[in-house]
């Protein structure tokens, strides 16, 4: 690894921007590599999304019985897309003017594990379980998958184990679904992980191993342990294609929600989506799904904390996963625990080079006021990480050079739709909620 040494900052691409990031300044980066047709040579295609969705469909009877709370959501593990006009008024006061409608995609409230990780994480474990059951000839594709709840299946799966490294929410998703199916499951948690997430997992029979170091260390320990065990499936957050495709199904399903909410996405009705980013898997998978169905008129932006901007750093320098925050002295310490990642996913940073419109960073101290205002104005609670995206609409709309370049006139921007992608919050215990809320007041 030639690049392990510290970098000569001055020689990096976008060195001025990097210097600002090193000073923990908020930055807004626009991707010059954005393509009108990023899926043309993409390793993933629509058929991959279809296949993932079909698999989730096969599991529908299982999910309904295993997690009765999903009976409300006809799409199984799916979230609402809601307009938040009161928050729009507050957001303009807290940030800057922007025109168009404002929505929240409530992946913060996904059933089973209350975060965006309920998409990819659960999908990957279901796929693993299906593969085993099919190989053992105990299941066929046409059968009612709710039979996987029967004791002979939990006995079968108990011979296997699942492992994952996580800052918290991915661990929750993998832990809950794996334990339900009967797998032995180990979650390797980084120092950033909240105590209540570890307690909750342990209460479900999950083995939680804690590391005093950051996310990357937790992942690499987890990976190493899993490699020595042929019966263990390691969910690799830094590069898993299954995770990625599980997230991408969101793009397919949201089409119906656009119709219901009367959201158009065409040359005169641009849609902007703002997603908090950690290692990149969740926002990347969602971005791919959205790009596949909506093309160039959907504009995707990622949001990261000023102290952990790994994807912005990787893309702006062109070094992708070959540069990490701590290699240039950025400490990775942030209140946004779900985003506390120092190095971007190899798989996702590559794909985002042509798909992403841009990325920006936000100071931690802004997260809590957004959290409280959303609660006050719309009565919706989300966790701090999930608020990282909220400065996006103002950043984009105030950037006249960018809008002009895209041919987005003031007239067109009045038709814009802005979607803040909520990524977590529904599992946060009451005591933490009150604490977060008070901090924002
Ligand atoms: C994991 C997570 C993200 C980002 O997902 P990555 O795949 O790590 O990029 C955003 N918000 C919350 C609340 C999360 O838990």
From 104, 123, 164, 169, the mutation candidate for ligand 1 (largest count of ligand atoms within 8 A of CB) is: 169
72 or 89: whose pLDDT is higher? Answer: 89
CB 415 within 8 A of CB 346: no
Instruction: Give yes or no for residue 347 CB within 6 A of ligand 1.
Output: no
CATH number of 116-239: 3.40.50.1100
Distance 11 CA to ligand 1 centre (A): 31
Q: What is the band of 3 on the pLDDT scale with cuts at 50, 70, 90? A: very low
Output the CA 336–ligand 1 centroid distance in Å: 9
Measuring from atom 11 of ligand 1, which residue has the nearest CA? Answer: 423
Q: Which residue, chain included where needed, has tokens 């400490």?
A: 331
State residue 168's pLDDT score: 86
pLDDT at 154: 97
**What pLDDT score was predicted for residue 9?**
87
How would residue 5 be classed by pLDDT, with cut points 50, 70 and 90?
Answer: low
Indicate whether residue 108 lines ligand 1 (CB < 6 A): no
Give residue-wise pLDDT tens across range 31-61: 999 999 999 989 999 999 999 999 999 999 9
Q: Quick one: CA torsion of 76, 53, 249, 371, rounded to 10 degrees?
A: 20
pLDDT computed for residue 2 by the predictor: 41
426 lines ligand 1 (CB under 6 A): no
| Most confident by average pLDDT, 20-24, 211-215, 237-241 | 20-24
- The verdict on the CB of residue 52 being under 6 Å from ligand 1 is no
**Any ligand 1 atom below 6 A from CB of 169:** yes
| Interval between CA 115 and ligand 1 midpoint (Å) | 8
For the segment 344-374, what is each residue's pLDDT rounded down to a tens digit?
999 999 999 999 999 999 999 999 999 999 9
Long-range contacts of 398-401 (CB under 8 A, 24+ apart): 398/96, 398/97, 398/98, 399/28, 399/30
Question: Is the beta carbon of 283 within 6 A of some atom in ligand 1?
Answer: yes
9-46+53-113+242-440 in CATH: which number?
A: 3.40.50.1100
Whole-number average pLDDT of the chain = 95
Interacting residues of 10 by C-beta distance below 8 A, sequence separation 6+: none
Task: Kindly give the distance from the C-alpha atom of residue 97 to the centroid of ligand 1, in angstroms, as a whole number.
Answer: 27
pLDDT at residue 271 is higher than 60: yes
Say if ligand 1 is within 6 A of residue 165 CB.
no
Q: What is the DSSP string of 216-274?
A: HHHHHHHHHHHHT-TTEEEE-TTT-HHHHHHHHHHHHHHHHHHHHTT---BTTB-EEEE
- Among 190, 278, 349, say which to mutate for ligand 1: greatest number of ligand atoms within 8 Å of CB: 278
User: pLDDT, tens digit, for every residue of 308-352?
Assistant: 999 999 999 999 999 999 999 999 999 999 999 999 999 999 999
Pocket of ligand 1 contains residue 367 by CB under 6 Å: no
Give me the residue spans of the domains in the chain: 9-46+53-113+242-440, 116-239
Band of pLDDT at residue 166, cut at 50, 70 and 90: confident
Q: Is any atom of ligand 1 closer than 6 Å to the C-beta of 281?
A: yes
276 lines ligand 1 (CB under 6 A): yes
Helix (H) or strand (E) holding 165: strand 161-166
Spatial distance between the Cα atoms of 303 and 359, rounded to a whole number of angstroms: 6
Residue 120's pLDDT band, with cuts at 50, 70 and 90, is: very high
Residue 4 Cα to ligand 1 midpoint, Å, equals 26
Best of 118, 332, 338 to mutate for ligand 1, by most ligand atoms within 8 A of CB?
Answer: 338
Alpha-carbon distance of 354 to 356, in angstroms, equals: 6
pLDDT value, residue 15 = 94
The answer to whether the CB of 278 is under 6 A from ligand 1 is: yes
pLDDT in tens, 141-151: 999 999 999 99
pTM of the model: 0.96
**Using 50, 70 and 90 to split pLDDT, how confident is the model at 76?**
confident
Confidence band for 124, pLDDT divided at 50, 70 and 90 = very high
pLDDT of residue 1: 39
Q: Is the CB of 424 under 6 A from ligand 1?
A: yes
Atom 15, ligand 1: which residue's CA is nearest?
Answer: 338
Q: What is the pLDDT of residue 379?
A: 98
Taking CA atoms only, the protein residue closest to ligand 1 atom 13 is 424
Atom of ligand 1 nearest to the CA of 277: 9
Q: Do domains 9-46+53-113+242-440 and 116-239 have the same CATH topology?
A: yes
- Model confidence at 262, pLDDT cuts 50, 70, 90, reads very high
- Residue 134 CB neighbour total at 10 angstroms: 12
Residue 75 has pLDDT above 80, yes or no: no
Q: Please, what's the b/e burial string for 281-310 (b: 16 or more CB within 10 A of its CB; e: otherwise)?
A: bbbbbbbbbbbbbbebebbbbbbbbbbbbb
Q: Is the CB of 173 under 6 A from ligand 1?
A: no
């Amino acid at each position: 690894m030639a690049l392990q040494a510290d970098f000569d900052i001055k020689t990096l691409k976008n060195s001025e921007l990097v210097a600002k990031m090193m000073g923990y300044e908020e930055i807004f980066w626009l991707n010059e590599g954005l393509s009108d047709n990023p899926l043309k040579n993409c390793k993933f295609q629509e058929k991959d999304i279809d296949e993932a969705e079909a698999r989730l469909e096969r599991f529908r009877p299982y999910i309904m019985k295993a997690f009765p709370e999903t009976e409300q959501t006809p799409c199984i593990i799916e979230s609402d897309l809601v307009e938040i006009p009161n928050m729009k008024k507050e957001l303009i006061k807290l940030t800057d003017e922007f025109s168009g409608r404002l929505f929240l995609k409530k992946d913060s409230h996904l059933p089973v594990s209350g975060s965006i990780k309920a998409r990819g994480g659960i999908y990957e474990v279901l796929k693993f379980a299906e593969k085993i059951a099919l190989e053992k000839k105990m299941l066929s594709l046409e059968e009612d998958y709710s039979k996987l709840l029967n004791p002979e299946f939990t006995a079968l799966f108990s011979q296997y184990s699942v492992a994952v490294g996580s800052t918290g929410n991915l661990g929750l998703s993998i832990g809950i679904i794996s334990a339900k199916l009967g797998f032995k499951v180990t979650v390797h948690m980084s120092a950033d992980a909240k105590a209540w997430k570890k307690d909750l997992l342990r209460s479900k029979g999950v083995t939680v191993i804690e590391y005093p170091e950051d996310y990357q260390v937790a992942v690499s320990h987890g990976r190493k342990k899993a490699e020595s065990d042929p019966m263990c499936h390691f969910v690799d957050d830094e590069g898993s294609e299954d995770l990625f495709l599980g997230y991408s199904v969101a793009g397919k399903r949201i089409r119906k929600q656009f119709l219901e909410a009367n959201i158009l996405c065409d040359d005169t009705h641009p849609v902007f989506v703002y997603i908090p980013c950690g290692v990149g898997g969740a926002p990347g998978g969602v971005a791919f799904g959205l790009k596949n169905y909506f093309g160039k008129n959907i504009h995707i932006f990622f949001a990261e904390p000023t102290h952990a901007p790994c994807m912005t750093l990787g893309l702006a320098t062109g070094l992708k996963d070959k540069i990490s925050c701590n290699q240039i002295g950025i400490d990775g310490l942030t209140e946004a625990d779900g985003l506390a990642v120092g190095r971007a996913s190899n798989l996702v940073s590559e794909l985002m080079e042509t798909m992403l419109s841009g990325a920006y960073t936000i100071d931690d101290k802004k997260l809590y006021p957004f959290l409280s205002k959303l609660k006050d104005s719309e009565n919706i609670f989300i966790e701090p990480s999930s608020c990282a995206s909220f400065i996006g609409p103002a950043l984009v709309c105030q950037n006249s050079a960018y809008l002009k370049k895209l041919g987005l006139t003031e007239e067109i921007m009045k038709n814009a739709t802005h979607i803040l992608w909520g990524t977590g919050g529904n599992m946060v215990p009451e005591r933490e909620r009150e604490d977060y809320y008070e901090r924002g007041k």
